[in-house]
Chain A
């Protein structure tokens, strides 16, 4: 597995501002992802953070709204830009750990999440 930390753990922001969320992993990983979890809902993939290149966004998410950085194999940031109350959610980063010789398949592990409230 991996130890994943996120900063901040929670924040309350004003409409129209931006917030950058940091994700730090205790080991080098190839695949890092950003998810959104709206209140009472399941997780929705925002994008895959690619090291050394632009992130790959899922349908419904765009770079201008959710710019992502991935400067190295242990760190990524997600920015929520020009926020509105509809952006109030939990934002989670996850990493994919490659399967060992005796394991089934690659597995995703999640950070603790960042709870964002936009007023």
Chain B
């Protein structure tokens, strides 16, 4: 079964860049890595996904090294509204199941 490790919590200040890393040392070869954002009392919201190297969209960047044993979500210039829990989602190499990370609670302060 794929195992993931994320920091439980992180603190940041408005305007800073935040990098959240998910370690996943055994994931499905062909599956993408996906990151979600979740606010209290809401379902997870898709942020970004990638397979290798770097992917960037209007809200975040995702860095995935060649060995795909980790992925780093980068949030540029965070604001108070980025305070949320961030989850990585990876594929299990056995059985095709998708596994959520434990989640990182990001707190952005003024």
Report the tally of A-B residue pairs with Cβ distances under 8 A.
45
What total of chain B residues lie within 8 Å of the partner, measured CB to CB? Answer: 22
- Interface: A12 (CB within 8 A): no
Given contacts A42-B101, A108-B34, contact A113 B42 (CB under 8 A): yes
Residues of the B chain whose Cβ atoms lie less than 8 Å from the Cβ of A107: 34, 46, 49
Does A92 contact B43, Cβ atoms closer than 8 Å? yes
Q: Nearest-CB distance from A3 to chain B (Å)?
A: 12
Does B46 contact A113, Cβ atoms closer than 8 Å? no
- Interface: A15 (CB within 8 A): no
Does B46 contact A109, Cβ atoms closer than 8 Å? yes
Chain B residues engaging chain A, CB cutoff 8 angstroms: 31-32, 34, 36, 41-46, 49-51, 55, 87, 89, 97-98, 100-103
Excluding A94-B43, A111-B43, 18 further A-B contacts by CB distance (< 8 Å) are: A1-B46, A4-B43, A42-B87, A42-B100, A42-B101, A42-B103, A43-B44, A43-B100, A45-B97, A45-B98, A58-B97, A104-B55, A105-B49, A107-B34, A107-B49, A108-B46, A110-B43, A112-B42
